[in-house]
Chain A
């Protein structure tokens, strides 16, 4: 919001709400990892196979999807950022 304007406060103008959102995200991530741990322990100690991950390459590794998602995104963004050095031109490049 522009300083000095008399507008009402919106949801994310309050930094506390942003923190809440982030805390929610971290909690969900932790819970999802916990599910993988439970799956792993179940299989180790009881032999019960809860999550069926036997088809994809490396899929059986505990935490596979979480790591893949994180690393894929990091690579995607960092490589794209480097690509800018080669690909990026001024906005009016084609108009000149």
Chain B
């Protein structure tokens, strides 16, 4: 029975007790949950377990194999780091929401069928919105609402896809053999995954809502939702084709290249991080789209590293926000004086996302790029190389530079609290460990045999040239005054469609509709009035048909009628 217990439920059910505990007991309990859950996961046998019958379908609540395990381990680690980071959060609701959210993500990656996936998909959506609302501002409330609507829409599309697919094929299996882009049902599933997976133009819920979340909430958010989508696409749609085109390669290349332009001009540093998150997911999508063993290995190992270094960057920016109350590049600067440890940890994250040799991005990102070349996608490789230089530029340099260096903003604050430093330290340690010893842990977890050596002199030198000349370019642009300054602003993105265009259209339609209604009303009223006054004229008190007639005139009319009869019938 223990062997059948879904690992996700430990954190989800465990969250119920959080409000009852206080102080150190609660802290210990919070940290114990992911550890217990992880221990339970280690004890589970590979394969499918926890079968459950529902509506005549056989559900597989737990499926354990290399791919799901990698994400399972990763999410436990991310939950533990996030909980350490969030230990000072007082709100039991926020901590419970974070636990349920992490549990939902774990449940989704171990889901062995589409219906189970759907259930955890919805748990992810509903629990995560509380991490945004917990900020308790009008802005965060509205952003959370928009976020929730998009997430629930993704859930509905997923459900529609599952139902259609089950109707077409009779299967609810969640694997590449039964999915792939071959019908309306699977296409809907693909789009639903794509919404959470921040596909181009479906991405804006993330850039809109994540920066409005609480300091700690954004750390959890950055780890789970999008990576669950990456897992689900890697599971169900590797190398998926429409008309012979591997669509995920195109989508991934667009995701890697476009958001970095926004990242350069964005002022809110946590929003910059969301744009760079989309850019990194772009690399993963390209890997999944190529679909070879090397490419899939690259995609999921990059997902593993990304959760850690992106989490680290979100944590360091969160610490800045926590201590100074500010997060805009235009208001920050010079914080290395007040927060030296946070500065160093942030730079480790920056080096990792930029794929510096000895840091984690270096050993995973290049796998995807290498796979692109091997499969003959030279132009994709060029785009990814551009994106690599770009990510160094905005996440590697811009984030640490404008927060911790640049001009001195005059802000003086305390170093980040100890629990935040510990959480960042653990993430930084993993970033460096995976970068230096990829064979020790990361490559062992990958779903396919690894036949890839990241540390060749060619790769190291080429990458260093790319990065250092990007840095040189930044220096030149900054020095010559060509670099765009950080400005208080918002930049229009696809959320403009539903925040401005659609409400605008609705207003116009409403105005047009009201006009039409008023006209119709006027016309009807006039017609009715005309009809009524006609009736009144003929039948009213003075009307022709309502008059009383004199007896004499009646006699005359009767006489005339009789006379007519006589003439007609006279033969």
Q: Does B523 count as interface, using CB distance less than 8 angstroms?
A: no
Task: Name A81's contact: one of B465, B472, B484, B500 (CB within 8 Å).
Answer: B484
Cβ of A67 and Cβ of B469 under 8 Å apart?
yes
Cβ of A76 and Cβ of B378 under 8 Å apart?
no
Count: A-B pairs, CB below 8 Å: 154
- CA A57 to CA B260, docked complex, whole Å: 23
Residues of the A chain whose Cβ atoms lie less than 8 Å from the Cβ of B487: 88
Residues of the B chain whose Cβ atoms lie less than 8 Å from the Cβ of A77: 264, 393, 473-474, 477, 482-484
Cβ of A11 and Cβ of B265 under 8 Å apart?
no
Known: A77-B477, A87-B265. A69 touches B465 (CB 8 A): yes
Residues of the B chain whose Cβ atoms lie less than 8 Å from the Cβ of A88: 265, 487, 489-492
- CA A60 to CA B308, docked complex, whole Å: 34
Residues of the B chain whose Cβ atoms lie less than 8 Å from the Cβ of A79: 261
Residues of the A chain whose Cβ atoms lie less than 8 Å from the Cβ of B379: 57
Q: Which residue of B lies closest to A58 (CB)?
A: B382
Residues of the A chain whose Cβ atoms lie less than 8 Å from the Cβ of B260: 76
Residues of the B chain whose Cβ atoms lie less than 8 Å from the Cβ of A84: 265, 484, 489, 491
Give the segment of B170-178, B184-192, B454-462 that binds chain A. Answer: B454-462
Q: Which residue of A lies closest to B372 (CB)?
A: A56
Cβ of B491 and Cβ of A70 under 8 Å apart?
no
B contact residues, range: 35 or more
Task: Name A70's contact: one of B264, B334, B472 (CB within 8 Å).
Answer: B472
Q: What are the interface flags for A52-77 relative to B under an 8 Å C-beta threshold, 1 for contact and 0 otherwise?
A: 11011100000101111110111011
Cβ of B467 and Cβ of A94 under 8 Å apart?
no
Residues facing B in A19-64 (CB within 8 A) are 22, 25-26, 28-29, 32-33, 35-36, 50-53, 55-57, 63
Residues of the A chain whose Cβ atoms lie less than 8 Å from the Cβ of B461: 32, 35-36, 51
Residues of the B chain whose Cβ atoms lie less than 8 Å from the Cβ of A78: 482
Known: A51-B457, A56-B378, A87-B265. A70 touches B470 (CB 8 A): yes
Q: What are the interface flags for A1-16 relative to B under an 8 Å C-beta threshold, 1 for contact and 0 otherwise?
A: 1100001001110000
Residues of the A chain whose Cβ atoms lie less than 8 Å from the Cβ of B473: 69-70, 73-74, 77
Interface of A is mostly: helix
Residues of the A chain whose Cβ atoms lie less than 8 Å from the Cβ of B470: 69-70, 72-73
Q: Does B145 count as interface, using CB distance less than 8 angstroms?
A: no
> Nearest Cβ distance between residue B392 and chain A, in whole angstroms?
8
- CA A11 to CA B389, docked complex, whole Å: 28
Cβ of B466 and Cβ of A68 under 8 Å apart?
yes
Cβ of B469 and Cβ of A29 under 8 Å apart?
yes
> Nearest Cβ distance between residue A19 and chain B, in whole angstroms?
12
> Nearest Cβ distance between residue A83 and chain B, in whole angstroms?
6
Cβ of B489 and Cβ of A91 under 8 Å apart?
yes
Cβ of B261 and Cβ of A90 under 8 Å apart?
no
Cβ of B458 and Cβ of A52 under 8 Å apart?
yes
- CA A64 to CA B471, docked complex, whole Å: 16
Interface of B is mostly: helix
Cβ of B457 and Cβ of A50 under 8 Å apart?
yes
> Nearest Cβ distance between residue A23 and chain B, in whole angstroms?
11
> Nearest Cβ distance between residue A39 and chain B, in whole angstroms?
8
Task: Name A73's contact: one of B381, B393, B458 (CB within 8 Å).
Answer: B393
- CA A72 to CA B456, docked complex, whole Å: 24
Cβ of A53 and Cβ of B475 under 8 Å apart?
no
Cβ of B378 and Cβ of A73 under 8 Å apart?
no
Residues of the A chain whose Cβ atoms lie less than 8 Å from the Cβ of B337: 7, 10
Cβ of B492 and Cβ of A76 under 8 Å apart?
no
Q: What are the interface flags for B395-410 relative to A under an 8 Å C-beta threshold, 1 for contact and 0 otherwise?
A: 0000000000100101
Residues of the A chain whose Cβ atoms lie less than 8 Å from the Cβ of B378: 56-57
Q: Does B251 count as interface, using CB distance less than 8 angstroms?
A: no
Residues of the A chain whose Cβ atoms lie less than 8 Å from the Cβ of B477: 73-74, 77
Cβ of B405 and Cβ of A12 under 8 Å apart?
yes
Q: Does B535 count as interface, using CB distance less than 8 angstroms?
A: no
Q: What are the interface flags for B316-337 relative to A under an 8 Å C-beta threshold, 1 for contact and 0 otherwise?
A: 0000000000000000001011
Additional pairs, 12, CB under 8 Å, beyond known A1-B410, A32-B461, A90-B490 = A32-B464, A56-B373, A57-B381, A57-B382, A68-B389, A80-B265, A81-B484, A83-B491, A84-B491, A87-B265, A91-B489, A94-B500
What are 6 inter-chain pairs, A to B, with CB distance below 8 A? A65-B463, A68-B469, A69-B465, A70-B472, A87-B493, A88-B491
A: which residues have CB within 8 A of B? 1-2, 7, 10-12, 22, 25-26, 28-29, 32-33, 35-36, 50-53, 55-57, 63, 65-70, 72-74, 76-81, 83-84, 86-91, 93-95
B: which residues have CB within 8 A of A? 139, 260-262, 264-265, 334, 336-337, 373-374, 378-379, 381-382, 385-386, 389-390, 393, 405, 408, 410, 456-458, 461-475, 477, 482-484, 487-493, 499-500
User: Top 3 nearest A-B pairs by Cβ distance?
Assistant: A69-B469, A73-B473, A65-B465
